[in-house]
């Protein structure tokens, strides 16, 4: 059994959500029921491998000890060290994923790491002042709809909402939206994603330009419906349990520029990176006067932000190049926005928006083609010939 995969999971999910609906409808406390569900699902899924379960338990203990120490530490210097230590398990995971050892390899480590790093940084910033109990930490970290692939929620929002008793009419509206999102997510993942994948693996004439063109568009459809479908099911399940988990996609293929795209695609990742990487790199570079012009500082921050995004996905060449590619696009568009008279003159014209949309979507599709790793297979194929 895996999260949002297989008949067994969906059977248990249906039972869990029905009980959760009844609890919320009656206005009873839901937080301990959610905790129990999350722990049960974690044991069932991670328990298939003693190694993976051990990694998960060790990770939670290590990170929570860091959280406890951080909440008792006033020194900014020591807090920064603790933040770096909280990143360490993710770094070890990514580095050893390129070897046969696969240390700290367990489902959801990338998402759990970002959740914990957010807590550590906000403790350092003074935004989190109240002690986070072990129960609250586990509730947030192992919340089963989002544990394996997001969306990436924020601790203060989640911990506040899970204790909230929502008025019945408001809950029923949220639950209704949740059912709709859950069904739409199933449709995306089971029907549209499967159909796209069927045509994708059926492609012939490997190594030709036409093959690459077909692959790019089909892979984009497959990835979107697969990931957006999962995200919709995660958000829908959360809604039925009374939690307003943030949406992860907002019609990304209507984006009229690359910044607009990242405001619509994998939204919780891009906003996490904006808040905890881009803004901090920008402020640090500004403070230390690394660049004379604000524009150059912003371009530098975009490059760092998107390259880190590539490394977060993994240390394979496809992910790293994907990060650099989007860093160049974001930095380039920042320069174009600020310096181009053509842009400033025409940005509100309908013809310009249509042209900008067409260019943006195709740049995005090329990026996802890089992300897929297919270009490197083609290069290897050509070299072997």
**Alpha carbon distance 161, 34 (integer Å):** 12
Residue segments in the chain with a per-residue pLDDT below the cut of 50: none
Query: Can you tell me the distance from the alpha carbon of 275 to that of 118, in angstroms, rounded to the nearest whole number?
Result: 9
* Whole-structure pTM value: 0.93
Q: What is the pLDDT of residue 208?
A: 79
Q: Output the pLDDT for position 204.
A: 83
Cα(230)–Cα(182) distance, rounded to whole angstroms?
A: 9
- Ramachandran area for residue 164 (φ above 0: left; ψ -120 to 50: alpha; else beta): beta
Q: Which two tokens stand for residue 359?
A: 């260019």
CA 190, 267, 327, 312 torsion-angle sign:
negative
- Please report the pLDDT score of residue 206 as a whole number: 75
Q: Which two tokens stand for residue 163?
A: 């204790």
Bridge partners of 2, per DSSP, are 5
- Structure confidence at residue 385 (pLDDT): 62
pLDDT single digits (tens) 113-158: 999 999 999 998 889 988 999 999 999 999 999 999 999 999 999 9
The answer to whether 37 and 237 are in contact (CB under 8 A) is no
Q: Which of 233, 240, 231 is nearest to 269 (CA)?
A: 231
Cα atoms in the 13 Å half-sphere on the side-chain side of 301 = 24
- Please report, for residues 10, 180, 250, 322, the alpha-carbon distance to residue 312 in angstroms, rounded to integers and kept in the order given: 29, 31, 22, 11
Q: Which residues are paired to 5 by β-bridges?
A: 2
Residue with tokens 């060790």: 58
Residue 111 CB contacts under 8 Å (≥ 6 apart), including other chains: 146, 147, 148, 149, 150, 152
Calculate Rg over the CA atoms of the chain. Answer: 22
pLDDT at 76: 81
The per-residue pLDDT for 207 is 72
pLDDT, position 110: 94
Residue-level pLDDT at 376: 84
From the list 100, 102, 313, 381, the catalytic residue is: 313
Q: Cα–Cα distance between 162 and 137 in angstroms, integer?
A: 12
Question: Per-residue pLDDT tens for 230-256?
Answer: 999 999 999 999 999 999 999 999 999
pLDDT at 121: 92
Residue 307's CB is within 10 A of a number of other CB atoms, namely 19
SS3 assignment, position 74: coil
In eight-state DSSP terms, residue 5 is: B
Residues 376, 321: contact at Cβ < 8 Å? Answer: no
User: Would you call 2 helix, strand, or coil by DSSP?
Assistant: strand
Q: Which candidate, 225, 227, 222, places its Cα nearest to that of 313? A: 227
Residues in the chain: 385
Block residue for tokens 């042209």:
355
Whether 266 is a known active-site residue: answer: no
Residue-level pLDDT at 307: 97
Name every residue whose Cβ is closer than 8 Å to that of residue 46 and which is 6 or more positions away in sequence.
52, 53, 56, 106, 107
Alpha helical stretches, state H, the chain: 7-25, 31-46, 50-72, 76-96, 109-124, 134-142, 155-162, 168-186, 193-201, 209-240, 258-262, 267-273, 279-287, 294-313, 317-339, 341-346, 350-372, 374-384
Q: Is 42 exposed, middle or buried (0-12, 13-18, 19+ CB in 10 A)?
A: buried
Half-sphere exposure of 208 (CA within 13 A, CB side): 7
CB 360 within 8 A of CB 263: no
């Amino acid at each position: 059994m895996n999260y949002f995969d297989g008949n067994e999971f969906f059977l248990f999910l249906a039972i869990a959500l029905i009980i959760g609906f009844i609890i919320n409808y009656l206005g009873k406390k839901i937080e301990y029921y959610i905790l129990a569900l999350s722990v049960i699902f974690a044991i069932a899924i991670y328990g298939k491998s003693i190694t993976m379960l051990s990694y998960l338990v060790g990770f939670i203990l290590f990170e929570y000890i860091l959280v406890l120490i951080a909440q008792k530490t006033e020194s900014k210097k020591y807090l920064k060290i603790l933040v770096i230590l909280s990143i360490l398990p993710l770094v070890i995971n990514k580095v050893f994923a390129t070897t046969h050892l696969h240390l700290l390899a367990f489902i959801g480590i990338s998402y759990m790491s970002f959740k914990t790093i957010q807590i550590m940084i906000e403790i350092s910033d003074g935004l989190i002042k109240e002690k986070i109990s072990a129960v609250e930490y586990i509730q947030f970290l192992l919340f089963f709809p989002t544990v394996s692939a997001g969306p990436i929620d924020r601790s203060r929002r989640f911990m506040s909402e899970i204790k909230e008793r929502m008025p019945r009419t408001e809950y029923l509206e949220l639950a209704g939206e949740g059912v709709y999102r859950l069904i739409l997510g199933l449709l995306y993942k089971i029907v549209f994603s499967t159909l796209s994948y069927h045509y994708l693996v059926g492609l012939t004439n490997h190594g030709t330009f036409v093959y690459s063109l077909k692959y790019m568009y089909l892979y984009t459809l497959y990835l979107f419906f697969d990931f957006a479908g999962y995200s919709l099911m995660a958000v829908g399940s959360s809604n039925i349990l009374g939690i307003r988990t943030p949406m992860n996609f907002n019609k990304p293929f209507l984006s009229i520029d690359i910044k607009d795209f990242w405001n619509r695609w994998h939204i919780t990742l891009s906003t996490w990176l904006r808040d905890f990487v881009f803004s901090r790199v920008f402020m640090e570079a500004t403070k230390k006067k690394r660049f004379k012009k604000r524009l150059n500082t912003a371009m530098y921050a975009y490059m760092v932000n998107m390259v880190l995004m590539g490394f977060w996905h993994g240390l394979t060449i496809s992910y790293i190049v994907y990060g650099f590619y989007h860093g160049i696009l974001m930095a380039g568009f920042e320069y174009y926005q600020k310096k181009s008279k053509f842009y400033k003159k025409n940005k509100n014209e309908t013809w310009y928006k249509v042209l900008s949309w067409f260019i943006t979507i195709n740049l995005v599709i090329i990026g996802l083609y890089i992300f897929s790793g297919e270009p490197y297979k083609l290069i290897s194929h050509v070299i072997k010939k």
